[in-house]
């Protein structure tokens, strides 16, 4: 309860600070719409000439694209603004202020700011998701089935970002380690069926992109395999525990701004 209260305070103040730049939001919404348009067009190109992804109609692939946009929004609103600052904390020594406060340091570092930047992506993502579901004849999606893989996806995304951002404690200047991750997560635009076998192996076992968009997408369409459904919370839990442990290790290793 205390954590919820603190989080709401955190987010209200950061939101107020960002709301000063309302004009930015219009441009962000435009850019995000343009981005999504380009993604949808490229998806459409795949379905030209009889190609496409086996087992996925165009509309069903739109569901996956919508989910991808949703996650992009979460990254833009929560993960990027917070974890991008770990580097700054380490470089300027402000991490000490975080560590001195009587509140879990991971919480403070990773969920301090809520920025409106990703909202447009979330909005367009939901539009695309609903459109894809409706057009593919799933007007009543299996929401109940999808809740578990969807929330597991969010946790997994958080854990992956946090793992990569934590390496800043060792390397200090890695503004773009998260860009590498962002690049890899781009694979989530398309269902896993789009990729050759070797890619699919990587996206399931090494960088588990499959659990971010494809598995929740299949669940929404009511045809996820039970093994993938069962695996998704497990993968998310393992990733979260690993990220938490890695942060603890980093904090034990951290000796202050001078070290």
Partner 1 sequence: MSALQPTSVGDRIRAGWRIARGLFRAGYAYMTEYRAELILWALANSLPFILMGAWTQASTRGHFALSPLDLVRYFLAVFVVRQLTVVWVLWEVEQQVQGGKLAPQLLQPVDPAWRHLMNHVAERVARLPFAASLVVLFFALYPAAFFVPSAMTLALFLVLVAAAFLLRFLVQYTLAMLCFWTERASSIEQLNFVLYMFLGGAIAPLDFFPPAVRAVADWTPFPSMMWLPCRVLLGGVPTAEVARAVAVLVGWCVVFFVASRLLWRAGLRRFSAMGA
Residues near partner 1 (CB under 8 A) are: 21, 23-24, 27-28, 30-31, 34-35, 38, 41-42, 45-46, 48-54, 171, 173-177, 179-180, 182-184, 186-187, 190, 194-196, 199
CB of 24 to partner 1, least distance (A): 6
CB of 110 to partner 1, least distance (A): 21
What long-range pairs does 165-170 form, CB within 8 A, spacing at least 24?
165/83, 165/84, 165/86, 165/87, 165/110, 166/86, 166/243, 166/246, 166/247, 166/250, 168/86, 168/87, 168/90, 169/86, 169/90, 169/250, 169/251, 169/253, 169/254, 170/250, 170/253
Q: Which residue lies nearer to partner 1 by CB, 22 or 252? A: 22
Q: Which residue lies nearer to partner 1 by CB, 148 or 209? A: 209
CB of 176 to partner 1, least distance (A): 5
Q: Which residue lies nearer to partner 1 by CB, 181 or 215? A: 181
CB of 156 to partner 1, least distance (A): 18
Sign of CA dihedral 211, 162, 244, 171: positive
Q: Which residue lies nearer to partner 1 by CB, 35 or 105? A: 35
Q: Which residue lies nearer to partner 1 by CB, 100 or 198? A: 198
Q: Which residue lies nearer to partner 1 by CB, 45 or 230? A: 45
CB of 37 to partner 1, least distance (A): 8
CB of 31 to partner 1, least distance (A): 4
């Amino acid at each position: 309860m205390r954590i919820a209260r603190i989080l709401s305070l955190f987010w209200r103040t950061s939101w107020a600070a960002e709301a000063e730049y309302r004009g930015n939001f219009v441009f962000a919404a435009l850019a995000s719409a343009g981005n999504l348009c380009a993604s949808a067009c490229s998806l459409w190109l795949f379905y030209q000439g009889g190609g496409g992804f086996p087992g996925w109609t165009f509309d069903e692939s739109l569901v996956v694209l919508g989910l991808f946009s949703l996650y992009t929004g979460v990254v833009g609103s929560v993960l990027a603004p917070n974890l991008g600052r770990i580097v700054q904390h380490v470089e300027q020594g402000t991490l000490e202020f975080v560590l001195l406060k009587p509140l879990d340091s991971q919480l403070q570092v990773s969920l301090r700011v809520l920025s409106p930047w990703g909202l447009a992506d979330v909005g367009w993502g939901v539009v695309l998701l609903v459109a894809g579901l409706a057009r593919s004849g799933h007007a009543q999606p299996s929401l109940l089935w999808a809740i578990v893989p969807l929330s597991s996806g969010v946790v997994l995304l958080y854990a992956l970002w946090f793992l990569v951002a934590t390496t800043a404690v060792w390397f200090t200047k890695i503004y773009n380690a998260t860009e590498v991750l962002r690049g890899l997560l781009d694979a989530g635009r398309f269902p896993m069926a789009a990729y050759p076998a070797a890619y699919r192996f990587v996206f399931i076992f090494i960088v588990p992109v499959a659990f971010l968009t494809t598995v929740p997408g299949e669940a929404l369409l009511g045809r996820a395999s039970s093994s993938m459904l069962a695996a998704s919370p497990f993968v998310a839990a393992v990733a979260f525990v690993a990220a938490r442990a890695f942060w603890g290790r980093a904090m034990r290793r951290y000796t202050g701004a001078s070290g």
